[in-house]
Amino acid sequence: MNRLLTVFEDESFDKYKWAGKDLTDFEFSGCCFRNINFSNYQLIRTSFSDCRFISCNISNADVEGCRFQGVNFCSCKILGIVFAKISPFLLNWEFNDCQLQLCNFSGLNMKKSSFISSKIHESDFVNVDLQKSSFKYSDLSGSRFHNADMTGTDFSDAKNFFIDVTTNKLKGAKFSLPEVLNLLHQFGIKIEY
């Protein structure tokens, strides 16, 4: 079934409700979404370019083939999203003061992504490229990093992370005391201070 592409440019949506929860094949450029509940929406093949999401709920949405280019998420609730299914083409995004839980970012090239002052709990970063990204001031409780390239990534003032130094690339990554000591946990080393 071919659908016509629905396009919105430079529009603001505040507590807006679409008829139904299917935004498949929509295109948003330069739009701002404030206090929108996208929970359980179909965002299949939807394109977001230079958009802002402020205080939105994007939980359990289907984002297969979705494109995020120049997108900023601020104070959003993002639960159970399989970002591993999005389109990787020109992926560029940042998360500020967001709650991300049970999300899967596996297999993505997310160089220079920002996850600032966010709670990123029980999420997967497997086979990802996070070079020169930032997790400053974030809480990474229960999140899993495996075979990730985090060269030059900034974990300053991040907490509750467990990163296996034998299965991830960390050259030039930045950490703060005392949380940097978590990197030694897997070796059973006891540190007194």
Number of domains in the chain: 2
Strands 67-74 and 52-54: parallel
Looking at the fold, whether 62 and 12 belong to one and the same domain comes out as yes
Could you give the CA distance from residue 176 to residue 88 in angstroms, rounded to a whole number?
31
Query: Which of the listed residues 38, 72, 104 is the one where a domain comes to its end?
Result: 104
Looking at the fold, whether 8 and 59 belong to one and the same domain comes out as yes
Looking at the fold, whether 98 and 138 belong to one and the same domain comes out as no
- Residue 175: its pLDDT value, please? 84
For the cut 60, the answer to whether the pLDDT of residue 56 exceeds it is yes
- Residue 3: its pLDDT value, please? 56
Contact of 10 with 29, CB cutoff 8 Å: yes
Query: Which of the listed residues 69, 86, 104 is the one where a domain comes to its end?
Result: 104
Looking at the fold, whether 96 and 118 belong to one and the same domain comes out as no
Query: Would you tell me how many other CB atoms lie within 10 Å of the CB of residue 14?
Result: 10
Kindly state the percentage of the chain with pLDDT values over 90: 79
Could you give the CA distance from residue 15 to residue 112 in angstroms, rounded to a whole number?
31
1 confidence band (pLDDT: 50, 70, 90): very low
Q: Please state whether the predicted TM-score (pTM) of the whole model is above 0.85.
A: yes
Could you give the CA distance from residue 39 to residue 2 in angstroms, rounded to a whole number?
25
Looking at the fold, whether 186 and 153 belong to one and the same domain comes out as yes
CATH number at residue 185: 2.160.20.80
Q: How many whole angstroms from its chain centre is CA 74? A: 11
176 confidence band (pLDDT: 50, 70, 90): confident
Q: Which amino acid is at 192?
A: E
For 132, the 3-state DSSP assignment is coil
Looking at the fold, whether 144 and 190 belong to one and the same domain comes out as yes
Looking at the fold, whether 187 and 125 belong to one and the same domain comes out as yes
Domain range for 16: 1-104
